[in-house]
Amino acid sequence: MGQCHRACHGSLVGKLIALQPPSGQVLRHTLYTFQGGCIVPKADGSISVGATSEHAGFDKTVTAEGISKILSVQKKMVPALNNARFLRAWAGLRPGSVDDLPLIGPSQSVPGLWIAGGHFRDGILLGPLTGSILAELLQGHPVPPGLDLTPFDPDRFGGWDRTANNDPRLHLSQSTTSHREQD
């Protein structure tokens, strides 16, 4: 694995399903459970149910086991959807950082490199806000008052290096030590 894995992990995969509820059944609000599930009504009338968080490398294969886990969440949360029509299933990567905080802002080690990532499962929710903040910063505007981006510093695990292993992709510099290694 490249040095990039000291800052980011991409090995978690989330699987979801879409259901079409029986005629007359309408879900108007998103439902969450602390046991790791959510049911989200969509504008087209379908309902997304999810999601798993599996260590599957970068394999986005949808499995029967994953669907079974999702359906068990749905049955506990909204048994009225047991007769819903199955529409589709999909999986996506859940990139996150090793300290579970996103990487947001400019890198000091590579001029011109701005990073907005590592939001894990919350990227779909936090992506628009992160994009808005970065757009302001890229235009030279100050950080909004009361917002401290220090915990999200993209260089907090070390600098980024284009030359690691003669690989054109960016990697964390091998000469730096991550916060986890210091503890």
Judge if 123 and 72 occupy the same domain: no
Judge if 84 and 105 occupy the same domain: no
Tell whether 128 is covered by a domain: yes
CA distance 53 to 38: 12
Listed residues 50, 73, 93: the one ending a domain: 93
Tell whether 131 is covered by a domain: yes
Judge if 145 and 125 occupy the same domain: yes
Listed residues 36, 64, 93: the one ending a domain: 93
Phi, psi of 12 (to 5 degrees): -95, 135
Tell whether 2 is covered by a domain: no
- pLDDT tens digit string along 132-169? 999 999 999 998 888 999 999 999 988 776 555 555 45
Judge if 46 and 110 occupy the same domain: no
Domain count, the chain: 2
Of 36, 63, 34, the C-alpha closest to 49 is: 36
> What average pLDDT score do residues 78-95 get?
92
Listed residues 44, 76, 93: the one ending a domain: 93
Q: For the chain, give the longest Cα–Cα distance.
A: 62
Q: How confident is the model at residue 183 (pLDDT cuts 50, 70, 90)?
A: very low
pLDDT for the residue numbered 162: 57
Phi, psi of 119 (to 5 degrees): -80, -5
Of 183, 111, 114, the C-alpha closest to 154 is: 114
Please report which helix (H) or strand (E) contains residue 96, including its range: strand 96-97
Judge if 85 and 14 occupy the same domain: yes
Residue with tokens 């949360």, as numbered in its chain: 77
Judge if 105 and 86 occupy the same domain: no
pLDDT for the residue numbered 105: 93
Contacts 24+ apart (CB under 8 A), 131-134: 133/104, 134/104, 134/105
Judge if 78 and 147 occupy the same domain: no
CA distance 60 to 57: 8
Judge if 86 and 13 occupy the same domain: yes
CA distance 89 to 31: 19
Of 38, 46, 32, the C-alpha closest to 16 is: 38
- pLDDT tens digit string along 6-40? 566 556 888 899 999 998 888 889 888 877 788 99
CA distance 64 to 158: 40
List alpha helices for the chain, DSSP H: 64-77, 123-138, 179-182
Q: For residue 157, give its domain range.
A: 98-182
Instruction: Indicate which CATH number applies to the domain containing 32.
Output: 3.30.9.10
Query: What one-letter code names the amino acid at 10?
Result: G
